[in-house]
Structure 1
Amino acid sequence: MILGIDHIGLATDDPAGTAPFLAALGLGAGDRGIADDYGVACEFWRYSDGIGQPSIETVSPVRPDSPIADRLAKQGPGLYHVAFCVDDLEGEFARLREHGFVPVDAAPCAGARPGMRVMFMYARRPAGLLIELVQYS
């Protein structure tokens, strides 16, 4: 079951440059980490009293073969994905696949936060939206 929005991902090659804009919106830096399977560094920003509310995640490449490096080269920075927290990662992945979502990942991968497992899918037409399913242990 989908429990809610976990975060909104922003693609950038300058995460430090986004900090003043996110801070001006009242967000504060929180968790950060590397998602090795994807070759990305992630920083999660949220409101100080925003426990349980969605975060904004900056996603930047840590190696040239990262999918985010390719995305930045083709489209530049901007909205990258919407992440949904789920209680059954593989079950929701299968269910959404039956509804026409296109898998990106073949198996769950470690996310950038401790205990975070993720899988990506596309809603190609008509939305062109990359979604991430997130489950915490």
Structure 2
Amino acid sequence: MHHVGMTVTDLAAAVAFFEALGMELEGEAHMEGGFVDGVIGLEGSRSRIAMLRTPDGRYRIEFSEFQAPEAVDGSSHAPINALGLRHVAFAVDDLDGTLARLRPHGAELVGNVETYRDVLRTCYVRGPEGILLELSASLT
């Protein structure tokens, strides 16, 4: 896998949130023209993108903010049992510290922080645009 792509309406907020999570901005670009239109199947598209990577460089998330055509609602606040891509999971060293860093960026717990068999603490968090994250910290 090279990356996961997400469309947002506020690129700066998405980048700030995921940087607070510990991801690193790899680059930003303006995208438009025949090549892009041909790949994504939309005519006259214009967007800004940002690629973020995990600190180890293994995983990436690409965020796209479309100026044209206007973004359409993809049920960003759908519950976890809705069909389709629902969440992205991150292993973190300090769950409480991570939550503290994300809250100023709009993170909200979906349920509770739970402990599984004294091995793992985990929770779901909604971030900007309703992006659903699973955060887990090993207790061993």
Q: Classify the TM-score, shorter chain.
A: 0.3 to 0.5
Larger RCO (alpha carbons 8 Å, 6+ apart) = 1
**TM-score of the superposed pair, with normalisation by structure 2:** 0.41
- Which of the pair is proportionally richer in strand? 1
